[in-house]
């Protein structure tokens, strides 16, 4: 008799490693990060702390871990593929900030982009498309030991979103 036990594929292990590494990076900066339990495409929720003050916004993070970022590389950006159009629409219509992070567990760094910039609205609005992709520019680096650039872009996106409401 062949037994069939649950499998834990390598991509789940890589995803968990990526989550642990990026959470540790946020924690080491004094930021607040929690796993999202009932998610609709978000893995983490982040609150940035500056001078012991919790800034008045949250950032939802859709995280993808990898051992080879180059496999997601295109000309001048990285790509997230096969995102459900309905989930992308949820992110784009939300008042909350959501960002994609592609995290290399070997280099302990990645790239990021906010959904408003990463996903083309025309693709989401096309009823024939079940999935969309997101572009993460290579200039948007996030490093375990240096989150200054990430923090700056988060603040800019928060302020821009507030002006649009």
Range 32-45 average pLDDT: 89
Topology classification of domain 10-164: Trna Endonuclease; Chain: A, domain 1 (3.40.1350)
Query: In the structure, what pLDDT confidence band is assigned to residue 1 with cuts at 50, 70 and 90?
Result: low
What distance in Å separates the CA atoms of residue 41 and residue 43, rounded to the nearest whole number?
Answer: 7
pTM of the model: 0.91
Specify the pLDDT at position 165: 56
Which pLDDT value is given to residue 138? 94
Give the count of beta carbons closer than 10 Å to the beta carbon of residue 109: 19
Using CA atoms, how far apart are residues 134 and 88, in angstroms rounded to an integer? Answer: 9
Domain ranges of the chain: 10-164
Q: 3-class secondary structure for 96-160?
A: CEEEEEEEECCCCEEEEEEHHHHCCHHHHHCCCCCEEEEEEECCCEEECCECHHHHHHHHHHHHH
Per-residue pLDDT, 7: 84
């Amino acid at each position: 008799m062949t037994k069939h036990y649950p499998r834990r594929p390598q991509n789940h292990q890589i995803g968990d490693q990526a989550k642990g590494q990026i959470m540790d990076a946020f924690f080491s900066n004094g930021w607040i990060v929690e796993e999202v339990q009932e998610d609709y495409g978000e893995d983490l929720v982040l609150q940035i702390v500056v001078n012991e003050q919790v800034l008045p916004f949250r950032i939802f993070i859709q995280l993808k871990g990898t051992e080879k970022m180059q496999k997601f590389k295109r000309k001048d950006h990285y790509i997230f593929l096969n995102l459900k159009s309905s989930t992308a629409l949820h992110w784009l219509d939300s008042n909350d900030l959501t960002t994609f992070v592609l995290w290399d567990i070997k280099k302990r760094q990645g790239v990021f982009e906010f959904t408003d910039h990463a996903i083309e609205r025309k693709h989401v609005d096309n009823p024939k498309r079940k999935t969309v992709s997101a572009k993460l520019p290579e200039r948007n680096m996030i490093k375990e030991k240096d989150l200054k650039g990430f923090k700056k872009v988060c603040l800019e996106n928060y302020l821009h979103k507030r002006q649009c409401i």
